[in-house]
Structure 1
Amino acid sequence: MGLVILVTGANRGIGRGLVAHYLAQPDTTVLGAVRDASSLNATELDELPKGEGSRLIVVSLSANNPMDATEAILEIQMQHLIGHIDIAVANAGICDHYGPVEEMTDSDVLSHFEVNTLGPLRLFRAISPLLRKASVPKFAYISTALASIHMIEQIPSLTAAYGMSKVAGNYLVKKIDAENKEFIALLIDPGMVQTDMGSRAAQANGLEKAPVTLKETVQGITYQIEVATKSTTSGQFVNYKGEKVCW
C-alpha cells in the first residue's frame, strides 16, 4: 500500500497544499479530511496531480463534531480497507475572533477550543490504533507562534481565543509524545502564510500580505515531519524552518 497519510482541513490553505504535496509522491495514499466531502472545494481535490500508484480518499470530518473522527476512521477501514496510518497531520483550525480580551466572550473561547484543541484530541483517539500499526508513526499538529507564551509581548495580536486554544493543543501533543514511546509527535508553526487566515492576520498587523508563501511552508512542514525522530524533534515546538519556538 505504501505510505498512508491523513490531513485534516484538506480542502483549502495549508491543508490543500499538504495534500497536493503528498499526493504527488509515488505509492502514497492520502486521506483528505474535510468538513463536507460533497463540497466543491473537496471534490476539486481529486483533480490534483497524482504520483505513480498514489490515490486520494476524501472523507467528511468536522473537528467540532465529537463523533466525526471515529466515523471517518471506520469508513476508511471498512470501505477503503486502510489498515494503518503512517502520518497524521492535524491541520484543521479556526481563528474567528479578533479583539481585546475584555471583549472576548465565553462562546468565542469555547468555539476555538472545540476545533483547535478537542479536534486534534478526537482525531488522535480515533487514529491511534492505526498509527500503532505503522513502522514509524508520526502525529503532527499545525500550531502557531501565537501559542508561544514567551513571545506574547513580542507578537502583539488580538487573537487571544485562538492563542489560548493552540497553547492547549501544544500541551496535548507534548503529552501524546510523553505517553507514547513509539509515536513521533511534533508541533509545527507554519509561519504567517499567504492563505485566507494568514492574510487576515497580515492585514491586522498592517502588512500588505503574509510573508510566507504556501509553497515555502508546505515544503518546510513536510521536511520537518520527514526528518523528525523520537530523539530529535518529537515533543518539540518548531517552526517550518526547523527552528525551535519558545513555549
Structure 2
Amino acid sequence: MQDQQLVVVITGAGRVVGGIRNDSSPGVTELKASSLGAGSKLLLVKLESSSLTDAKSAMEQITAAGIDHIDIVIANAGLSPPVAPLETVDLEEVASVLKINALGPLALYQASHSLLEKSKNAKFVSISSAAGSIATMESIGSYVAPAYSISKAALNWITLAAHCGNKWLTAFAVNPGLVATDMGNRTARYLGMERAPYTKEYSAERVISLYSDWDSVEETLASNNEKLPIATPALGAT
C-alpha cells in the first residue's frame, strides 16, 4: 500500500495576522520564493483569523486541490495587544483578541476535523504562550496582560478538549518562548530586554521536534506530572 503523503496546514504564514490577505504582500512573496523539499508542494489559501468562516472556506479550497486528508494542523496565527491592567483594559479589545487567538483556532479545528480524521497519525498543534497558564500567573506576572493571557488560556482549554475528546487525535499546545518577531520584541522591551532571545528559526525547529517525536514528549510530561499537554520547546519539554 502506498504511504499517505504528509499534509501540513499552517496558519499565520504571513508576518502579521492577516498578512497573506494580499497576494503580493512580503510574506506571500517570500513563501512563493522559498525552496521546497523534493516532492513537496506549497498551496496558499486565504485564512483571516478574525473571520469565523474563512477556515471552512480554506478547507474547501484544500479539498478542491485534490487533498483528501490532513496530518498536522498548526494554529500559529495570533495577536498580542498593548499591555493594559485588568481594571482598565478595553473590553472590546479583550473580545477582539479572544476571537483571533481562541475562536479562530477553534474555527480551524472544526473546519479541519473531518480531514484530520482521515490521517493515520493526526496532530493539532496550537501555538500558545506561558501567559496562558493560570498556575504560573503570579510567578511570571502574566496578570499585567489580561487580553492576551485570557485568550491563550482559552486556547489551551480548546486544545486539551480536542485531545481528550478524540482518541485518534494528538492535540497539544506549545509555548514557543519569547521569539524575535515584531510582537515578541515588543514584549521583550516591555520586560526590559533589548530584544526577544529566540530566533524564529530556532523556535520553529524546536516546535517541529515536538510533533515529530511526540511519544518521548508525552513521557517527559508524564514524569513531570503535567496536567495539560503543553510543552516549552525553547527550554525543553516541561
Does the Cα contact within 8 Å between 1:7 and 1:91 map onto a contact in 2?
yes
Structure with bigger strand share is: 1
Residue 204 (structure 1) aligned with residue 190 (structure 2): yes
Alignment match, 1:114: 99
- Aligned ranges 1:215-226 → 2 under 5 Å: 215-226=201-212
Residue among 223, 232, 238 paired with 1:239: 232
In 2: Cα distance, 1:133 partner to 1:58 partner: 21
1:97 to 2:91 alignment: no
Corresponding position of 1:56: 42
d(CA) in 2 for partners of 1:34 and 1:131? 25
Query: What is residue 87 of structure 1 aligned with on the other side?
Result: 72
Q: Is the CA contact 1:147–1:167 (under 8 Å) kept in the aligned structure 2? A: yes
Q: Which amino acid aligns with 1:10?
A: A
Distance across 2 between alignment mates of 1:83 and 1:34: 27
CA RMSD of aligned residues (A): 2.0
Gaps in structure 1 of 5+ consecutive residues: 16-32
Q: Is the 8 A contact 1:95 1:159 kept in 2?
A: no
- Correspondence for 1:184: 170
SS at match of 1:122: helix
Amino acid at match of 1:198: G
Question: Measured at CA, do residues 96 and 39 of structure 1 come closer, stay the same or move farther in structure 2, by a change above 3 Å?
Answer: farther
TM-score, normalised relative to structure 2: 0.89
Aligned AA for 2:154? A
Check conservation: 1:140, 1:188, Cα contact below 8 A. Answer: yes
Aligned pair 1:4/2:3, yes or no? no
| Structure 1 stretch displaced more, 87-96 or 153-162 | 153-162
1:48 is displaced (CA, Å) by 0.8
Match of 1:23 in 2: none
How many angstroms does 1:34 deviate by?
Answer: 5.8
After superposing the two structures, state which structure 1 stretch, 235-244 or 67-76, moved more. Answer: 235-244
Which amino acid is the alignment partner of residue 12 of structure 1?
R
Per-residue deviation, 1:166? 0.5
Shift of 1:135: 0.6
Q: 2:5 corresponds to which letter in structure 1?
A: G
What TM-score comes out, normalization by structure 1 length? 0.85
After TM superposition, give the deviation of residue 154 of structure 1 in Å: 1.8
Shift of 1:231: 5.7
Name the aligned partner's letter for residue 117 of structure 2: R
- Per-residue CA deviations over 1:161-206 (Å, capped at 9, x if unaligned) read 0000100110011010110000000110000011111000000001
